[in-house]
Structure 1
Amino acid sequence: MTIYATNGTRIYIGAALAAKSSDFILSDFPTTGWVEIGETEGLGTVGDTSAEIAFDGINSSRTRRLKGTRNAGTMEIVCGIDPDDLGQAAVIAAEKTPHDYAIKMVLNDAPAGGTPSERYFVAKVAAATEQYDSANSVMKLNISLWVNSNIVKVDAAEA
């Protein structure tokens, strides 16, 4: 079993890409046109959880639980504000639209000479807010991505 650090992970925003009723596959995502979101400090979490559907049975005196719809959550990204960063500019522009956008993450887990893992999904940019804090703080851009698809995982590969 091998574990990896988050540092070195990169996140990108792509073109508008409409959500669909079935799961995405890798070939649904563009191969070009990705813009890296720079100066990231935190990448938050992403992944499916199921809604709970509860039924309280009178005769059994037992609550039964079923799985409902799946929700991939809200990914909260924190960046140091960089007005010259094209990725941050793309995120700010995307927040002003009602569209979903392709998102790609490249993890820092490549084996020697190999290729790293990747994650792909579709999300709305729900927020792009600035955080200023105190004198000895870096001004931050806080990005909220409402994930509207499954997460497509591409495993790291040996050379």
Structure 2
Amino acid sequence: MAISATAKSKLSIGTTAAATDATTFGADTYTSVANIEDLGEVGSEAEILVGKYVDQAYARKLKGTRDNGTMTLVVARDPSDPGQTALRAAEKQELPFNFKVELNDKPTPTGTNTVFYFKAIVASAKTSMGGADDVVKDTYQVAITGAIIEVPAAEAVGP
């Protein structure tokens, strides 16, 4: 597949419904978040466990627990946007919510985009007011808990 730009990608927040695979995540109801400036980054990183032993000259390293990270989501603040309202409400909750990120990368005009599903807590919601010529922004820390399910982009099937 070819490379793609982030432009026209989408992030949506779902409910706290149980979801463990693409089918159950896909069955949730999602609300799209508007005015996204930066989607941040996500992805697996293993804790590095280090053992140093008196009878050995080199440290030994093992992979420990994996962490899929915390997405720093920056949006131009819109108090009337349902997606931003849902993010602000989720920040006040303890339970993880379902999230859906859809890239703009379909390989053909009738194909499908790559979709990422994951559960996350909205750990913070901060407003940046900036200076006279700045757009007021909200920044959300979306901390992923568990696996990221990726449904790859695909060409259309059938006629």
Tell me the TM-score range normalised by the shorter chain: over 0.9
CA contact (8 A) 1:17 1:101 kept: yes
Judging by fraction of residues, say which structure has more strand.
1
Closer/same/farther in 2, CA of residues 157 and 8 from structure 1, 3 Å limit: same
- Aligned-partner SS, 2:14: strand
Identity rate, percent = 36
Higher deviation after alignment, 26-35 or 40-49: 26-35
- Aligned-partner SS, 1:62: coil
Indicate yes or no: 2:147 matched with 1:150. yes
Residue 128 of structure 1 corresponds to: 125
Runs of 4+ aligned residues of structure 1 deviating over 2 Å after TM superposition are none
Once the two structures are superposed, residues 81-134 of structure 1 have per-residue CA deviations (whole angstroms, 9 ceiling, x without a partner) of 001100000000010010100000110001221111100000000011100111
CA contact (8 A) 1:109 1:156 kept: yes
User: Could you tell me how far 1:31 is from its partner in structure 2?
Assistant: 2.1
Between the two proteins, the alignment pairs up a number of residues equal to: 155
CA contact (8 A) 1:103 1:122 kept: yes
1:83 and 1:57 map into 2 onto residues whose CA distance is: 57
User: Could you tell me how far 1:32 is from its partner in structure 2?
Assistant: 4.2
Indicate yes or no: 2:63 matched with 1:105. no
Indicate yes or no: 2:30 matched with 1:34. yes
CA contact (8 A) 1:17 1:122 kept: no
User: Could you tell me how far 1:144 is from its partner in structure 2?
Assistant: 0.5
Residue 10 of structure 1 corresponds to: 10
**Structure 1 unaligned runs (5+)?**
none
- Aligned-partner SS, 2:15: strand
Please, what is the CA RMSD of the aligned residues?
Answer: 1.3
Once the two structures are superposed, residues 7-45 of structure 1 have per-residue CA deviations (whole angstroms, 9 ceiling, x without a partner) of 1100000001458xxxx3212314241000110000101
The code of the aligned residue for 1:158 comes to E
Matches within 5 A, 1:5-84: 5-17=5-17, 24-84=20-80
**Structure 2 unaligned runs (5+)?**
none
1:115 and 1:61 map into 2 onto residues whose CA distance is: 52
Once the two structures are superposed, residues 48-103 of structure 1 have per-residue CA deviations (whole angstroms, 9 ceiling, x without a partner) of 10001100021112111001100011100000000110000000001001010000
2:26 and 2:148 map into 1 onto residues whose CA distance is: 15
